[in-house]
Amino acid sequence: MALIGRENELAVLKSRVDSSAKGKGRLVFLKGEAGMGKTRLLSELRSYCDASGITFLQGRCYSASFPYSPWTEAINDFVRRTDAQTLTSLCQGPAVEITSLIPSLVTIIGASPKKNMGLKEWVGGPKTLLPSPAVGASGTSAEDAGRLALFEGVTQFFLNLSKKKPVVLVLEDLQHADNATIIMLRYMTRHIFEHRLLIVGTFREEELDQSHQLSQLVRDFEKEALSDTVKLDALSREAVLQFVRDLTGRTEHLEEVADTLYSTTRGNPFFVVETVRSLTEQDIIKKDSVDYGRLRSTALPSSVRALLRQRLERLEPECVELIGLASIIGPDFDQEVLLGASGLPEASVLNHLETGLKVGLIRERPVHRGFRLEFADPRLRRIVQDDVSTIRKRKLHNKIAECLEKTYSENLNEHLEEISYHYVESGNAKKAIQFLLLAAQRAASTHAYDEAIRHYRSVMELSEDPSVDKQAADRIEALQQLIEAWRRTLQKAAEMITIDDYSSVAERYDANYVPLFEPLARRVVEMAELHEGESVLDVGTGTGLAAFLAAKLVGPTGRVLGVDLSDGMLSVATKKSRDSQYRNMEFKKMDETSLELPDNSFDAVISNLGLSRYNVDMGFKETYRVLKPGGTLVFSEWTNKRDPFSPVLREILDKHKTRNPSPLLAGTREAETSFFQFYERVTDRSVLKRMLTDMGFQKVLSSIVEHKSVRTTPDHSLKIIQSHPFLAPELVEMSPEDREAFMREFAQAIAPAFTPTGLVLDWELNYFKAYK
Ligand X SMILES: Nc1ncnc2c1ncn2[C@@H]1O[C@H](COP(=O)(O)OP(=O)(O)OP(=O)(O)O)[C@@H](O)[C@H]1O
Q: What is the contact surface with ligand X in residues (CB under 6 A)?
A: 1, 3-6, 32, 34-40, 204, 269-270, 273
> What DSSP assignment string belongs to 110-142?
TPPPP-PPPHHHHH-SS-----TTTTTSS----
13 touches which of ligand X, Mg ion, none (CB within 5 to 8 A by kind)? none
Smallest distance from ligand X to CB 5, Å = 5
Q: Tell me the residue ranges of DSSP E strands in 185-337.
A: 197-203, 227-231, 332-333
- Count, in order, helices (H) and strands (E) of the chain: 34, 15
> Which residue has the closest beta carbon to Mg ion?
39
568 touches which of Mg ion, ligand X, none (CB within 5 to 8 A by kind)? none
Smallest distance from Mg ion to CB 161, Å = 25
Smallest distance from ligand X to CB 243, Å = 7
40 touches which of ligand X, Mg ion, none (CB within 5 to 8 A by kind)? ligand X
Q: Which phi-psi region, left, alpha or beta, contains residue 537 (left: φ > 0; alpha: ψ -120 to 50)?
A: beta
176 or 447: CB nearest ligand X: 176
Cβ within 8 Å of residue 574, ≥6 positions away: 145, 148, 149, 587
Q: Tell me the residue ranges of DSSP E strands in 206-358.
A: 227-231, 332-333
Smallest distance from ligand X to CB 464, Å = 38
Count of beta carbons in the 10 Å neighbourhood of residue 477: 14
269 or 725: CB nearest Mg ion: 269
d(CA 170, CA 17): 12
d(CA 317, CA 352): 10
40 or 392: CB nearest ligand X: 40
> Which residue has the closest beta carbon to ligand X?
37
Instruction: Give the distance between the most distant pair of CA atoms in the chain.
Output: 103
37 touches which of Mg ion, ligand X, none (CB within 5 to 8 A by kind)? ligand X
d(CA 626, CA 636): 19
d(CA 340, CA 330): 15
Smallest distance from ligand X to CB 218, Å = 16
480 touches which of ligand X, Mg ion, none (CB within 5 to 8 A by kind)? none
Cβ within 8 Å of residue 153, ≥6 positions away: 94, 95, 96, 97, 98, 100
5 or 166: CB nearest ligand X: 5
Q: 229 has which bridge partners?
A: 29
Count of beta carbons in the 10 Å neighbourhood of residue 382: 14
330 or 542: CB nearest Mg ion: 330
Smallest distance from Mg ion to CB 375, Å = 12
Q: CB burial class (10 A; 0-12, 13-18, 19+) of residue 450?
A: middle
4 or 185: CB nearest ligand X: 4
274 or 730: CB nearest ligand X: 274
Smallest distance from Mg ion to CB 252, Å = 32
Cβ within 8 Å of residue 478, ≥6 positions away: 128, 129, 130, 131
Alpha-carbon 484 to chain mean position: 21
Smallest distance from ligand X to CB 3, Å = 5
270 or 763: CB nearest ligand X: 270
232 or 424: CB nearest ligand X: 232
Smallest distance from ligand X to CB 51, Å = 19
Q: Tell me the residue ranges of DSSP E strands in 413-485.
A: none
232 or 359: CB nearest Mg ion: 232
Contacts to Mg ion by CB under 5 A: 38-39
Smallest distance from ligand X to CB 376, Å = 8
**Do 748 and 525 touch, CB atoms closer than 8 A?**
no
d(CA 356, CA 369): 22
